[in-house]
A = this chain, B = another copy of it.
Amino acid sequence: MTNPTAAMLVIGDEILSGRTQDINTQFLANALTQAGINLVEVRVVSDDEGAIVGAVRALSKGFNHVFTSGGIGPTHDDITADCIAKAFGVHVGIRDDARALLATFYAARGIDFNDARKRMARIPDGAVLIDNPVSVAPGFTLENVHVLAGVPKVFQAMVTGVVATLTGGAPLLSKSVQINRPEGEIAGPLATLAADFPELSIGSYPFSLAGVFGANIVIRGIDSDMLERAAHRLDTLFGASQ
Point out residues on A near B: beta carbons under 8 Å.
Answer: 10, 13-23, 25-33, 38-47, 51, 73-78, 111-112, 114-117, 119-120, 135, 151, 172, 174, 176, 182-188, 190-191, 194-195, 201-208, 215, 218, 220
Contact = CB atoms under 8 A, between A and B. Distances in A.
Copy tally for this chain in the complex stands at 2
A20 B205 contact: yes
A177 to B, nearest CB: 13
Contacts of A13: 201, 203, 218, 220
Contact of A75 (B15, B114, B191, B201): B191
Given A76-B187, A119-B187, A203-B13, A29 B18 contact: yes
B42 A190 contact: no
Contacts of A176: 19
Contacts of A18: 26-33, 39
- Counting chain B CB atoms within 10 Å of each CB, the highest count among A25, A29, A76, A184 belongs to A184
If over half of A's interface residues share one DSSP class (helix, strand or loop), that class is named, otherwise mixed; here it is mixed
Contacts of A10: 42
Closest 10 A/B residue pairs (Cβ): A116-B187, A18-B29, A18-B30, A76-B191, A42-B44, A75-B204, A117-B184, A74-B187, A75-B187, A16-B39
Contacts of A31: 18
Contacts of A218: 13-14, 17, 19
Given A13-B203, A29-B16, A190 B76 contact: yes
